[in-house]
Each structure stands twice: as C-alpha cells, then as structure tokens.
Structure 1
Amino acid sequence: MTNLLRKISNYLQRNKYKKVLGRCDNNVNISRQAIIHNPQCIYIDKNVGIGDGVYLGPVIEYADIPYNPKIIIGEGTWIGNHCSLAAINKIKIGKNVLFAGYVHITDHSHGYEDIDRHIALQPLTSKGPIIIEDDCWLGFSCEILSGVHIGKHSIIAARAVVTKDVPPYSIVAGNPAHIIKQYNFKSQQWERYNK
C-alpha cells in the first residue's frame, strides 16, 4: 500500500511542476522538501531526480535590477540532497550528471565595489554562465563558481572549489581546484597529471 501511495504522491507532484516549470519532461522525481523559486526559469529533461532539501534559485530581480536566469537540467541527472543552484545568468547541466550531497553552484556573487553602499544593496555580478557537460560526477560539498565550463566525464572531488574551466575527462581537487588526473585514450587509463 505504501508503494501505491508513493506513486500517487509522485504523480501529483510531477503534474504540479509540469504546470509551473519552464519545462518538465516525463519521469521527473522532485522531492517534496525541495525549494524552488521562480519555477518558470527552470527546465528539466526526462528521468531527472532532485533530492531532499535541494534549492533551485533563479534570481529574476535583485536591488531593483532585473535578470533573465535559466537553470537547465539534462536527462538522467540526479541532484543529491541539500544541493544549491542559484543563477542570474545560466546554469546548464548535461545528461547523466551525478551530484553528491551539499554541492553548491552559483553563477553570481554580490558586488562590493561601492564602499558607500551596503553590500546587500549592491548589484549581483557574474563572470558568465556555468556549463557542466554530460556524464560528470560532482563530489560532496564541492563548489562551482561563475563562468566555469566543466568538460564531459570529469570528476570534481569532495570539497573542491572550481574557479576555472575543467577539460573533458579530468579529475580536479583542492581549493582552488586543479587537475590531478586525466584519462589517456592511448593507454586507456586514468593517469596522474604532471604540469
């Protein structure tokens, strides 16, 4: 009986989001504990899972400045519990991306340049959209900051802070994140990166 109730609950939840999200394809499972702001700016492909306590926060206005954000989540992606995605520009996540818990992705930060104005009242700033290509794995509590492009089948280690682009088939770790391994197609192995 519990499985039937869960299926009915998921069906009702999915239909609710289909009406308000920018796009919501089939077989999308969004936890009831997820927090979604400005759902019209969120586009979700099929077979996506969004865990407990996930925050999806496109910002359409701040300090009287309008923004045109988009959060796009590709097919087969799973966003683990308590992750946070915030955008004034664009966050685009490819297919089959796997998020551990507590991953934080933001394409903006607060302005601070005007010392005569409270930071909370200054415009938000962005270095550009964040793009995460297909088949990536984002480790526990890592952070991806604005303007970053993560290449296909890359791994971001737990607690890494990614401030610059990550080439495809790379493993990065640290703060700021740096490449520690890359896949060598000739040897067909992951090899230590020596720069």
Structure 2
Amino acid sequence: MLSKIFETLQRKKQISIFHKHPKVILGNIKLGINNHFVIYKNIKKINLGNDIRFRNYIHILVQDEATLEIGNNVFMNNFCSINCLDHISIGENTLFGENVKMYDHNHAYQSSPEFKIFQNQFTKAPIKIGKNCWLGSNVTVLKGVSIGDNCIIGAGCTIYKDIPANTTVMNKQELIFKS
C-alpha cells in the first residue's frame, strides 16, 4: 500500500517537471515508476504528443537551446534514455525496446598537438526517427542520424548513419561454439 502511494507521488512529481516549464507542450502521457526528467531552463521547445507511454526507469535530458519532439502513440520500454543537446524528433506510432539510447552529441576532442577530450564541449547534430518504427532492445542511435518511416532496427544495433524508409536493420552476429 505504501509503495503504491510513493509511486503515485513520484509520477506526479516527474510529470510536474513538464507542466511547470513554459516551453513544453504536453499531451497525455502514462508513466511507469522511477522515471527521471531533466529539463534545462532555456530549452527551445519540448513537444510531447498524445498517448505516449513511458515504462520504468526512463531518463530524458533536454539541455539549453535543445528541442525534443515526440509524436502521438509512442512507447518506450524500461531503461530507455534520450540525451538531447541539439534536436531529437521521434515520429508517431514508434516503439522502443528496453534500453534504447539516443545521443545527438559527442564530446569534442583534439588530436594534436596533444590528445585531449573536452568534458563540457560537444559536437552536435540532430536525430530524426520516422513514423511507425520499431527499435529493438539495446539499440543506440548516434548524432546526425535520420531513420525513415516504417523501419525496424534489430536488437543491439548501433545506428551511426542514415537508414532509408521501409528498411530492416539487423546486427549480424555469429555465435561460435567450441568444444
């Protein structure tokens, strides 16, 4: 009984993050438990459509000057995350398996005169996921990628270049058995 009360309060607290922000357009969303939303003060826009369902342990970060758009009837399974520093767009009727990750940025680095990775500098490029897509469990989508409408991305794929509409992508792994 007490855990149900805590879960309800936690859901209300998380959804209030969207409601309180003046640059968020919010449809109806169903939340699971232990979701975590971080919305910076100076975002460009967040537009969340109707009938969005976030399961458990979803993490969404939208930083200053970034835009996040999620269409109607989108489902994100457990442990998905969106890290938006530029622009991420997800089309309607799209499904995410568990642990799908999206990053529209990379850490900036220099290779000479001495190799150095910058903790607070990034290279950015938008991500666009079309309508009616299914991204299987453990898919990672990297910056600058467009995935066309009606695509299936198989479990475990890392998407680092554009995928044309009506395409199925599979991670061809071979199991090698030795006895």
**TM-score past 0.5 threshold:** yes
> Matched residues in 2 for 1:133 and 1:33: separation?
27
Decide whether the 8 Å contact of 2:17 with 2:37 is kept in 1: no
Task: Give the drift of 1:31.
Answer: 3.1
Counterpart code for 2:66: P
CA–CA distance in 2 between the matches of 1:108 and 1:16?
Answer: 24
Quick one: higher RCO (CA 8 Å, sep 6+), 1 or 2?
A: 2
Taking structure 1 as the reference length, the TM-score comes to 0.73
Pick from 89, 103, 108 the counterpart of residue 106 of structure 1.
103
In structure 2, which of residues 29, 41, 47 is the aligned counterpart of residue 43 of structure 1?
47
* Rounded Cα–Cα distance in structure 2 between residues aligned with 1:38 and 1:87: 10
| Structure 1 unaligned regions, length at least 5 | 61-67, 176-195
Q: Provide the C-alpha distance between the structure 1 equivalents of 2:14 and 2:105, rounded to a whole number of angstroms.
A: 30
Equivalent residue, structure 1, for 2:24? 23
* 1:87 to partner: Cα distance: 1.6
Q: Aligned partners of 2:153, 2:22: CA distance in 1, in Å?
A: 29
Q: Which residue of 2 aligns with 1:193?
A: none
Residue 90 of structure 1 corresponds to 87
Is the CA contact (8 Å cut-off) linking 1:47 and 1:75 kept in structure 2? yes
Partner amino acid for 2:52? V
Q: How many percent identity over aligned positions? A: 26
Preserved CA contact (<8 Å) 1:24 1:46:
no
Stretches of structure 2 that go unaligned for 5 or more consecutive residues are 173-179
Deviation at 1:23, TM superposition (A): 2.8
Q: Between Structure 1 and Structure 2, how many residues are aligned? A: 166
